Amino acid sequence: MAYLQIGLLAPRLFVRKSLPGLVRLDVVEREKHEIKENEAEAGPSEVALAAERALRELAGTGGNAKLFLPPGAPCDNDIVLSVVLVEEDEWWIGYHLHSRYHRPWPGGVARIELPRAAPSRAYLKLLEGLSWPGLPIRKGETALELGSAPGGASFGLLERGLSVLGVDPADMSRAVLENPAFRHIRLQAKQLRMDEVGPVDWLFSDMNIAPDEALDAVEKLMAAPGGMDKGRLLGALLTLKLTNWKRSQDIPELVRKLLERILVIGFAHAQAAQLYYNRHEICVACFTPLGLERISKTLKPAPSARLHESVSKARKKKF
């Protein structure tokens, strides 16, 4: 209980003085160790749950009964108060105005269940990637996936009613192959020609190659006669492996150069983040003008169109 008693007053004072209106509350305990590849992922800790209950109870005293919104996923333009329990005597508190470029889970920790039938954890990366920028895919649309084997992401797209063209020289899972909405093109991405594909609405890529090689394949398809930039393409979700860095300080510049190249290739907007289910890789959401037009009709605009790390400039205060 000492954990909860320390700093309970600080969040209330911080919120009352700085944040107008009702606030969405997220409480998360800092992870004590790195999650291993096949390790089961626990839900919110008992300490985090107890701290959230205590904060909500505290908000009901002293005339603050309507301080926090009910529990639930944040919506666009919600004010989100994030409380990170670092140590027993150390809490980090910050807030941001929620947009599609902020992750909707407390602490950015996605809690997605992997179905038994899903061929790989690429399913988790796909669902988190779709949720993060609010990728507006629709049932009946066509997706081209580069590096599709064994089929985790394809499985997730098929679940959502898309037709999928999977490009990979390796074998696909039977759970995917037996779906009539899936077609396997047994080639490397760099060998693919657009006349083998036809018009597509969305491009997905998660290839175990250097990021520049992955973008080479995307650029070739975009520049081909009748290529995707001249058709109905709305956008892309690219998982790019960070293979060519030696120091963590090098990563922002590497990501900046990758985003610049993506814009040169033919996309109107690109946004990057390292998501919870990413390992040594980043997720890049890319949109054509047509895709941006759809987003503008379905979602309120984000407060910034810059990199994810610069979008969220939440003020942080240590208590």
* The pLDDT of residue 58: 78
* The pLDDT of residue 179: 98
Phi first, then psi, for residue 53 (nearest 5°) are: -60, -45
* The pLDDT of residue 237: 97
Single pTM value for the model: 0.78
* The pLDDT of residue 104: 80
The list of the chain residues with pLDDT below 70 reads 1-21, 33-43, 60-65, 226-227, 229-230, 298-319
Write the secondary structure of the chain as one string of H (helix), E (strand) and C (coil): CHHHHCCCHHHHHHHHHHCCCCEEEEEEECCCCCCCCCCCCCCCCHHHHHHHHHHHHHHCCCCCCCCECCCCCCCCCCEEEEEEEEECCEEEEEEEECCCCCCCCHHHCCCCCCCCCCCCCHHHHHHHHHHCCCCCCCCCCEEEEECCCCCHHHHHHHHCCCEEEEECCCCCCHHHHCCCCEEEECCCHHHCCHHHCCCCCEEEEECCCCHHHHHHHHHHHHHCCCCHHHCCCCEEEEEEECCCCCCHHHHHHHHHHHHHHHHHHCCCEEEEECCCCCCCEEEEEEECHHHHHHHHHHCCCCCCCCCHHHHCCCCEEEC
Alpha-carbon Rg for the chain in angstroms: 21
* The pLDDT of residue 226: 65
* The pLDDT of residue 211: 95
Active site residue 246: no
> Right CATH number for 122-298 from 3.30.565.10, 3.40.50.300, 1.10.600.10, 3.40.50.150?
3.40.50.150
Of the residues 36, 66, 220, 241, only one is catalytic, namely 241
Report pLDDT digits (tens) over 118-130: 999 999 999 999 9
CB-CB contact of 196 with 165 (8 Å): no
* The pLDDT of residue 311: 29
* The pLDDT of residue 144: 97
Instruction: Please report, as a single letter, which amino acid is at residue 189.
Output: A
* The pLDDT of residue 313: 32
* The pLDDT of residue 127: 95
Q: Where in the chain are the domains?
A: 2-99+308-318, 122-298
* The pLDDT of residue 122: 95
* The pLDDT of residue 295: 87
